[in-house]
Amino acid sequence: MAKQINVALIGNPNTGKTSVFNALTGLNQKVGNYPGITVEKKQGICKLPRGVKAHILDLPGTYSLNASSIDESVVIELLLNKNDKDFPDVAILISDVENLKRNLLLFTQIKDLEIPVILAINMSDRMNYKGISLDIPYLEEKLRTKIALVSTRRNSGIQELKDLILSYKTIPTTPCLDSSAIDQEYFDRLSKAFPNQLVYKLWLVITQDVNFGKTERKEASIESFKTKSKSDLKRLQQKETIKRYQFINNTLKVGQTIDASKAKDLRSRFDRVLTHKFWGYAIFAIILLTIFQAIYDWAEYPMDLIDRSFASLSEWTKMTLPEGAFTNLIAEGIIPGLGGIVIFIPQIAFLFLFIAVLEESGYMSRVVFLMDRVMRRFGLSGKSVVPLISGTACAIPAIMATRNIENWKERLITILVTPFTTCSARLPVYLIIIALVIPEGRIIGLSYQALTLMLLYLIGFGIAVFSAWLLNKVLKIRTKTYFVIEMPNYKLPLFKNVVITVIEKTKSFVFGAGKIILAISIILWFLASYGPGDQFNKAEELVTSEYATQNISEEDLHTKIASHKLEHSFIGITGRAIEPVIRPLGYDWKIGIALLSSFAAREVFVGTLATIYSVGSDEEETIKNRMAGEVNPILGGPLFNFASGISLLLFYAFAMQCMSTLAIVKRETNSWKWPILQLVIMTAFAYIVALIAFQFLK
């Protein structure tokens, strides 16, 4: 037996595909993109008996093999290309026990491709609750497959599913109906013209507008066979769908029984409240406030512990290792730089925890439905809500999610405005600045700091919507698309799914940011530790002679020397050069360096300041204390005061400071024009708003 089996998880959206994927793979999974396509690719390893491993590929959700979007076409391209390294030895069709009829359409289509298909009927624990009973032997016979009744909530049926994967060669590959009967003459001619190919595979190649460059076919000869017009082919597709549903209806008449008297449905009652035109928004606002309050209250202690630990580690490194450049690099560059990102793990983990719970429970779909009412007034497609909402985690996958928007101009507007929504990379900047400049007080149980954080999220979303309205007027869009979203059933979030989501997302954030921060920390340490000319090289002599007549302590003298060196280092010279541009915003040259370096990624801002403030410092101080102790060289008083703090918060709320986002916008629009416009306009807007805020508040 093969030591590795390729398994494709296929199914409609909201059938619990992710839950089954997590149950099979656990934390043994990774996320990437399909080559050349920005569609998420989740894959993992499932260990089976006899030393066999199953390579599980979680394909994008699709309702049928009649593709209407890029991510759906990924499914068809894989199933048609036997040369693809991920081509499945066996497919698992994940179906929802309450929507079996609809899910079986896709199942019958895959069967026509003569791929072994296991039918995994998920959420089987709801069968009694909904009054559903299934005749499994009859269904297996009629559908020519093996069926696993699965409940990821109760962890039942997973072992049975693994056993079926292991014995996939015993699963029949014959289709369960003759779909060619819709036009027997046409399909007979097709079969004669290409005797070595599956007729249904040829039919998909002819009717689908997707990339079949890698499929086994003679392109020219297939094109020349298109003897029917597009409208005739469309009618045949409709006939095919009707024929499949006739077969499914006849099968389920015997194989499925639903006792309507047993079905208990609280969903409609919840929906009436949660999607209400007033209470729906009020409840959503309360949930948001609770989330932001919890992010502050729950994460305070672990954050303080991490901050102190990194400060102690830096000091311990200096005391333990021999003096020299290498020790300074570790103590002043790498440790503070990494500390500047690790400190935010608790808050970022809590943010992803709440997002995972909202998605798992089915509430997030209601939020999207609610927000559609608002979006329409600003000229956006309802489908734009999904990227805008998911942009609160990261703008990159959010921009990828715009591929579901068919209208190009609507999609372009969504791509351009999505970076305004507050992503998790802004969170470290917001949290440290808010902690420094917003007082610790409460109003009706809610802290000023949590309210400020929520306000920043709302401002970002508001500017995104306003920008969309403006672009809509400029680009004169005539929208013709309709917003359709499936409302999943309410369910208690699965603990395992939530934990895996939090771990994977946090790990992705930390390691993604960590690589950049580590590289930038090393560069910044070098630039801050070395400099040209006597002002840097003879700093000790110059400062000692300057303060020779003054009675200052050795510790103060050391601080003056370190400050003089930093100011005349390579980084100090660069900072001084850009200081005139940023001084009107209330920033000094150190903040200027942090602004420049954070164009690589926003979260680098804190790590940069941690590195700059650590160079030459022997004090065991936390990054927060060092920032709080900084003095404004021109105005006096704390550098991070209310005016400069609000100015910084607004700058980061609106500036396009993420090279990865710019790269993905270029890739999605296939042009440098849009990302360059995005960079220039967003940065200019951020500068003007920050300038007005500082000048008004100072």
**Quick one: pLDDT at residue 69?**
67
- Residues 160, 298: one domain? no
**Residue 669 predicted with pLDDT over 60:** yes
Model pLDDT, residue 512: 66
pLDDT for res 138: 92
The rounded mean pLDDT for the chain is 80
**Highest-pLDDT range among 128-132, 254-258, 543-547, 664-668:** 254-258
- Looking at the domain assignment, is residue 401 inside a domain? yes
Same domain, 166 and 239: yes
The answer to which of 204-213, 266-275, 636-645 has the lowest mean pLDDT is 204-213
What is the arithmetic mean of pLDDT over 424-431?
A: 80
What percent of the chain lies above the pLDDT cut of 70?
A: 84
In a domain, 561, yes or no: no
User: In the predicted model, what is the mean pLDDT of residues 250-264?
Assistant: 77
Phi/psi at 148 (5° precision): -115, 120
> Which pLDDT does position 149 carry in this prediction?
92
Average pLDDT of the residues in 671-692: 91
Look at residue 185 in the predicted model and tell me its pLDDT: 83
In a domain? residue 220:
yes
Please say which residue of 258, 285, 300 terminates a domain: 258
Q: Please check whether residue 472 lies inside any domain of the structure.
A: yes
* Residue 64 sits in the same domain as residue 182: yes
Q: 254, 412 in Cβ contact below 8 A?
A: no
To which residue do tokens 């609507």 refer? Answer: 410
| 209 or 278: which leads in pLDDT | 278
| H or E segment and range at residue 446 | strand 446-447
| Domain shared by 465 and 490, yes or no | yes
Are 391 and 436 members of one domain?
yes
Question: Residue 36: what pLDDT?
Answer: 43
Confidence grade of residue 401 (pLDDT, cut at 50, 70, 90): low
Residue type present at position 35: P
- pLDDT value of position 213: 46
- Identify whether the C-beta of residue 289 lies closer than 8 Å to the C-beta of residue 454: yes
- DSSP bridge pairs for 146: 118
Residue 77, classified by CB atoms within 10 Å of its CB into exposed (0-12), middle (13-18) or buried (19+), is buried
Contact yes or no for 287/359 (Cβ under 8 A): no
User: So what's the pLDDT on residue 218?
Assistant: 44
What is the structure's pLDDT at 246?
92
Averaged pLDDT, 29-58: 72
What pLDDT was estimated at residue 549? 75
Residue 535 lies in a domain: no
| CATH number reported for the structural domain that contains residue 114 in this entry | 3.40.50.300
Residues 221 and 320 reside in one and the same domain: no
For 28-43, what is each residue's pLDDT tens digit?
Answer: 666 554 444 445 678 8
Among 203, 233, 258, residue at a domain's last position? 258
Residue 348: its pLDDT value, please? Answer: 74
Report, in angstroms and rounded to the nearest whole number, the Rg of the chain calculated over CA atoms: 30
Q: Could you tell me the residue range of the domain that residue 687 belongs to?
A: 265-530+569-698
% the chain with pLDDT above 90: 13
pLDDT digits (tens, 9 = 90+) for 280-304: 888 888 887 787 777 767 877 887 8
Q: Is 375 found in the same domain as 252?
A: no
Output phi, psi for 195, to 5 deg. Answer: -65, -20
Query: Tokens 């597709």 map to which residue?
Result: 237
Average pLDDT, stretch 663-681?
84
Q: Are residue 232 and residue 273 in the same domain, yes or no?
A: no
pTM more than 0.85:
no
Of 456, 478, 458, 461, the C-alpha closest to 385 is 461
Q: What is the mean pLDDT of residues 98-118?
A: 91
- Domain co-membership, 282 together with 242: no
- The Cα–Cα gap between 279 and 265 comes to 21
**Quick check: is 454 in a domain?**
yes
What does the pLDDT read at residue 480? 53
The whole-number pLDDT of residue 157 equals 87
- Kindly report, residue by residue over 195-243, the tens digit of the pLDDT: 778 888 888 888 776 554 444 444 445 555 556 777 888 888 889 889 9
pLDDT at 37: 43
| Residue bearing the bigger pLDDT, 609 or 86 | 86
For residue 579, pLDDT beyond 90 = no
- Work out how many domains the chain is built from and give that number: 2
Residue where a domain terminates, one of 258, 286, 312: 258
b vs e for 668-680, b when ≥16 Cβ sit within 10 Å of the residue's Cβ? Answer: bbeeeebbeebbe
Average pLDDT over residues 253-264: 73
User: In the numeric block, which tokens belong to residue 655?
Assistant: 């500036």
Residue 477: the pLDDT is 53
| Weakest mean pLDDT among 248-257, 358-367, 478-487, 667-676 | 478-487
Whether 551 is in a domain gets the answer no
Instruction: Read off the pLDDT of residues 439-477 as tens digits, 9 standing for 90 and up.
Output: 888 887 778 888 888 899 889 888 988 888 888 777 765
**pLDDT for the residue 215:** 42
Residue 522 and residue 573 share a domain: yes
Residue 260 has a pLDDT of 64
Nearest to 352 by CA among 248, 130, 226, 505: 505
Q: Is 555 a member of any domain?
A: no
Work out the pLDDT band at 95, boundaries 50, 70, 90.
Answer: very high
223 and 348 inside one domain = no
Same-domain pairing of 220 and 348 = no
**Alpha carbon of 185 to those of 182, 190, 191, 202, 401: distances in Å?**
9, 9, 10, 15, 41
What CA–CA distance (Å, rounded) separates 120 from 212?
29
